[in-house]
Chain A
Amino acid sequence: SQQGEEDPQALSIQEGENATMNCSYKTSINNLQWYRQNSGRGLVHLILIRSNEREKHSGRLRVTLDTSKKSSSLLITASRAADTASYFCATDAWANFGNEKLTFGTGTRLTIIP
């Protein structure tokens, strides 16, 4: 089963508005990562937040992590047309130390309307 589940599955907003995507996961993690995928391209790493961190910023991105609720959110402020893409969360499961692997969620398809 998927370790990460994003919500919503699809989101359309006007350019300039903020976009918020959520991710829930099931097991204890070392870290949680967010990736972006433009249509027909590979995934691009956006930001990594460790299990002992609660919030992290990178440019227009803000990520929060609530390990008690096993959830994370990605906020993109002042959205631009170029932000149109699919966004995935990925968790690095703690269960097998030294043998971690990332498990990707199902993704949120974000469309920015000019």
Chain B
Amino acid sequence: DARVTQTPRHKVTEMGQEVTMRCQPILGHNTVFWYRQTMMQGLELLAYFRNRAPLDDSGMPKDRFSAEMPDATLATLKIQPSEPRDSAVYFCASGYRDSQLGEQFFGPGTRLTVL
């Protein structure tokens, strides 16, 4: 049963600390997305990769957020330093694009609380 996994599921940290979230996409998928969901802003696309190459990270605050795919089985989203306004649920999703972008498979999310 292939699924996207994310760790940690919950993270509470203090302002200024570094936060690293990890995602294992579904094997064979060539596109990986990072989203952030809050009550106020809804679901926002932060960054996405195709074949491990970053295609668009315009949704991320560049000064504090970074996203990488060190290999095909791992995507990371890092916040340094974290701020209370970063509190949100962060979702990773993967999918496969051939002629068009198809359905995306979402992980369970990382609920981040920055105090």
Chain A interface (Cβ < 8 Å from any Cβ of B): 2, 30-31, 33, 35, 41-45, 48, 50, 88, 92, 99-107
Q: Could you mark each residue 5-39 of chain B with 1 if its beta carbon is under 8 Å from any beta carbon of chain A, else 0?
A: 00000000000000000000000000001010000
- B105 contacts A by Cβ under 8 Å: yes
Complex Cα–Cα for A52 and B35 (A): 28
* Structural contact, B100 and A100, CB atoms closer than 8 A: yes
Task: Please tell me the size bucket of the interface on B.
Answer: 20 to 34
Given contacts A101-B48, A104-B42, contact A45 B101 (CB under 8 A): no
B contact patch SS: strand
Interface of A is mostly: strand
Give the contacting residue for B91; candidates A42, A45, A92; CB below 8 A.
A42
B50 to chain A, nearest CB (A): 8
Kindly identify which residue among B97, B102, B108 contacts A42, using a CB–CB cutoff of 8 Å. B108
Which residues of chain B from 24 to 65 have any CB-CB distance to chain A below 8 Å in the complex? 33, 35, 42-43, 45, 48, 55-56
Known contacts A88-B43, A101-B45, A107-B42; is-contact A31 B106 (Cβ 8 Å): no
Is there contact, CB below 8 Å, between A101 and B101? yes
Is B66 located at the chain interface by the 8 A CB criterion?
A: no
Given the complex, which residues of A lie within 8 Å of B48, measured CB to CB?
Answer: 101
Q: Which residue of B lies closest to A106 (CB)?
A: B42
Instruction: Give residues 59-115 of B contacting A (CB, 8 Å).
Output: 91, 93, 97, 100-109
A33→B102 CA distance, assembly (Å) = 9
Tell me the complex Cα distance, A30–B103, Å. Answer: 12
